[in-house]
DNA sequence: TTCTAGATGCAACTATATTGCATTAACATA
DNA sequence: TATGTTAATGCAATATAGTTGCATCTAGAA
């Protein structure tokens, strides 16, 4: 818990009780989670959803979480430990992580050919497919 | 206009007047556009927004348009001619297209290491940065 | 211990997207 | 060309996601 507090203070955020609990939860959770799911899992510990939204904005701005879009109509968030992306089954929503050999290759390549940009700060990369289980079921 | 009609019929969609007009507009527009912007630009020609949403679902399922998420809280859609992705300025929203040498490399690489997937149908890839103009302004 | 900037919760609100149903139009068949 | 069937459309209502304003409270500094 002291570790979580330290992370927050390092990025210049007040280490309130709520913030520590939410961040600790995100670290333990693994995988992108929605605001609604967070509220349910945190249960009594959960702050108001408005506060969760505000936290996510701050954590993202501070670079300690990622924003993830699985084309569900809402965003997901996950603690940023190692750089990775996701493959999502469009039928059953199962998620698998994958890593690129050099994640920055794409940004470098894009910048080399870009006329309007010299600075890339973030990127989104998600793959959508059918998992083996759904494929077998012929979906 | 006959060309547009042909595209629709080829993917098994009734070539109604509205559908042809919307698809023709998307082809001419270039770049990802939101439902709201479509309505404004199509003006009197525009179908109800419910119909636009339904069209986008069908066009996407048929593989003639792409879904694009610029983290704005809504989706954008664009006609799929050549495969490409986007760099978006998070400050002024200017957009530049970029192409990868081999766009499928990523999917291939991911599938090679995947345990749960053998089929990738689509992917999203967007870069977020600061454009040169906003960088100069020190934003 | 006190003070203050900023964090939180609640209520209200805005925006985005979807559903149900009555009406209308495309296009296949006669 | 006329007709029938299936699917497309528009409208109203609804659901879901995310934001704003403001009063209250709390972390951390003085």
**pLDDT of A139 over the 70 cut:** no
Length of chain B: 139
pLDDT tens sequence across A38-84? 999 999 999 999 999 999 999 999 999 999 999 999 999 999 999 99
**Contact residues of A toward B, CB < 8 A:** 67, 69, 71, 75, 85, 87, 89-90, 94, 96, 98-101, 106-107, 109-110, 113-133, 135
Q: How many CB atoms lie within 10 A of CB A65?
A: 22
Residue B127 reports pLDDT greater than 70:
yes
Candidate from A75, A99, A131 with C-beta closest to B116:
A131
Residue-wise pLDDT tens digits, A88-105 = 999 999 999 999 877 678
Token pair 């879009």 is found at A69
Other C-beta atoms lying within 10 Å of the C-beta of residue B14: 8
How far apart are the C-alpha atoms of B18 and B24, rounded to whole Å?
10
User: A-B interface: how many C-beta pairs under 8 angstroms?
Assistant: 124
Taking CA B117 as the corner, what is the angle to CA B58 and CA B109, rounded to the nearest 5 degrees? 100
Residue B11: the pLDDT is: 94
pLDDT-wise least confident of B32-36, B52-56, B69-73, B102-106: B102-106
A12-50 tens-digit pLDDT: 999 999 999 999 999 999 999 999 999 999 999 999 999
For the segment B106-118, the average pLDDT, to the nearest whole number, is 94
Considering only CB atoms, B87 lies closest to which of A87, A94, A110, namely: A110
Reply yes or no on whether the pLDDT at B1 is more than 90.
Answer: no
pTM score of the predicted model = 0.94
Give residue B56's pLDDT band: very low, low, confident or very high (50, 70, 90).
very high
- B117 vs A126: CB contact, 8 Å cut-off? no
CA-CA distances (angstroms) from residue A73 to A34, B26, B72?
11, 22, 12
> pLDDT class for A125, splitting at 50, 70, 90?
very high
């Amino acid at each position: 818990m002291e570790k979580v507090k330290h992370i927050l203070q390092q990025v210049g955020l007040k280490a309130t009780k709520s913030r520590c609990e939410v961040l600790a939860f995100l670290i333990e959770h693994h995988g992108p989670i929605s605001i609604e799911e967070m509220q349910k899992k945190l249960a009594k510990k959960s702050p108001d959803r408005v506060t969760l939204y505000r936290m996510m904005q701050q954590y993202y701005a501070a670079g300690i979480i990622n924003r993830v879009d699985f084309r569900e109509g809402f965003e997901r968030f996950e603690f940023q430990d190692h750089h990775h992306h996701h493959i999502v089954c469009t039928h059953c929503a199962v998620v698998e992580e994958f890593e690129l050999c050099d994640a920055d290759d794409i940004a470098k390549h894009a910048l080399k050919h870009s006329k309007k940009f010299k600075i890339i700060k973030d990127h989104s990369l998600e793959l959508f497919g059918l998992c083996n289980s759904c494929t077998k079921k012929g979906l």
